[in-house]
Structure 1
Amino acid sequence: MSLFDCKYDGCSDDSSSSEESDCNVVKDDHGFEERMKHELQSEVISYSRRNTKTEKNPSLEQPNDDDLLYDPEEDKVNEKFTRHLQKSSQNGQVCEETTDAILNCPGCMSLLCLNCQRHSKYKTQYRTMFTFNCKIADGTTQVPAVVDLSKDASSAIIEDLKTVVCEVCNTPVGLLESNGVYHLFNVLASHS
């Protein structure tokens, strides 16, 4: 007799025959399957009843503002906010003229100006009286070659110029004349 020649017929203590135990297992399996089908069917029915009572036909409902991914009134609110910014920067006055560009700092993208005039010859230079986030820098003033203040700019006028920097990141953005006119030339312009 070799090691693999043994025939195991079940436990020797098992008093029931294998035919009877097979029948009982099949009956138990069949009963279990019937109970599971009945339970699944009852769950499906109760779930469908719950959802059909509370759920309306979504295709018939009109979407409200909370369902939209945008606010249809946002443009009006933004325009009102911009007008408020203009009033606060221009001593309570709102200019009805259109601006040549909205100017931002090239270093940090902070808003610098809402109303400005573009220079006729130097297309990257702008003139304005009202700014945001700008401050006067301490130190010497260096006038770039592209800055055209006036036709008869003398050294006395150049001495009255002050360097203007971004208040947020201290990037030089332009010059300020003694009469209060800003010349902004190191800016990002979004033309309107």
Structure 2
Amino acid sequence: MSLFSCKYDGCSDDSSSTEESDDNIVGDENNFEELMKHELESDIISYSSNHFLLASSEQLTNDDLLYDPEEDKINERFAKHLQKVSQNGQIFEDTTDAILNCPGCMSLLSLNCQRHSKYRTQYRTMFTLNCKVADEKTQVPAAIDLSQGTSSADIEDLKKVVCEICNTPVGVLESNGVYHLFNVLASHG
């Protein structure tokens, strides 16, 4: 006898199974096969008739195209609106070094920022979205280079900035209102 052989056929020796129940099982299998075949044929006919109707019509809708040519304009207006809201009603430059997102929840943090010339993952901005300033003061990592002219007294006044959605620390806020965001995901345009 081999290691994996098994003589159990699913029925006990004292079972009352007969040929008649085997015929019922075969009949049920055939009914199931017929039902599935009928359903498949109806799906194929339905698909091919819809495909024929789409091919015969010259005018395709945006849903058929899976593309809306106006969507880019709508998105641009929405981004301008967000920028205006985050910048106290003002729109400054159209150019930004990056669009910043929270690494924890991907929420938008800034639409207008400047990238640090030496530390490529640090950004400076005056306008943020979805950021809140924590009451506690924070220690600045050694790799963070703040604005020129920042005194040691200003460094002591740095406040921790966290994502408003998920509370992930994303940077610090100077007493002069400049945000330094360094724990962010940046998308460069």
What TM-score range do you get, normalising by the shorter chain?
0.5 to 0.7
Segment of structure 1 superposing worse, 100-109 or 135-144: 135-144
Correspondence 1:166 to 2:163:
yes
Correspondence 1:130 to 2:132:
no
Question: How do residues 18-37 of structure 1 correspond to structure 2 at under 5 angstroms?
Answer: none
RMSD between aligned residues? 1.9
Which letter does structure 1 place at the counterpart of 2:161?
A: V
Distance 1:171 1:95 in 2: 28
Distance 2:115 2:70 in 1: 32
- 178, 182, 186: which one aligns with 1:185: 182
Change (3 A) 1:57 1:96: closer
- 77, 97, 102: which one aligns with 2:99: 102
C-alpha displacement at 1:81, in angstroms?
0.3
Change (3 A) 1:71 1:168: same
Give the aligned partner of residue 109 of structure 2: 112
Instruction: Render the CA deviation track for 1:92-121: whole Å, top value 9, x for unaligned.
Output: 111233100000001111100000000000
TM-score, scaled to structure 2: 0.68
Change (3 A) 1:115 1:136: same
Distance 1:57 1:109 in 2: 39
Change (3 A) 1:150 1:79: closer
Which letter does structure 1 place at the counterpart of 2:157?
A: D
Q: Unaligned stretches of 5+ in structure 2?
A: 1-48
| Percent of matched pairs sharing the same residue | 76
Distance 1:57 1:164 in 2: 53
Which letter does structure 2 place at the counterpart of 1:177?
A: E
Instruction: Render the CA deviation track for 1:15-72: whole Å, top value 9, x for unaligned.
Output: xxxxxxxxxxxxxxxxxxxxxxxxxxxxxxxxxxxx9xxx868335231324221211
Which letter does structure 2 place at the counterpart of 1:178?
A: S
Answer yes or no: is the 8 Å Cα contact 2:134–2:160 preserved in 1: yes
Give the aligned partner of residue 60 of structure 2: 63
C-alpha displacement at 1:152, in angstroms?
5.0
Which letter does structure 1 place at the counterpart of 2:176?
A: N
- 147, 151, 155: which one aligns with 1:154: 151
Give the aligned partner of residue 48 of structure 1: none
Give the aligned partner of residue 30 of structure 1: none
Greater C-alpha Rg = 1
Change (3 A) 1:184 1:58: same
Q: Unaligned stretches of 5+ in structure 1?
A: 1-50
Which letter does structure 1 place at the counterpart of 2:134?
A: A
TM-score, scaled to structure 1: 0.67
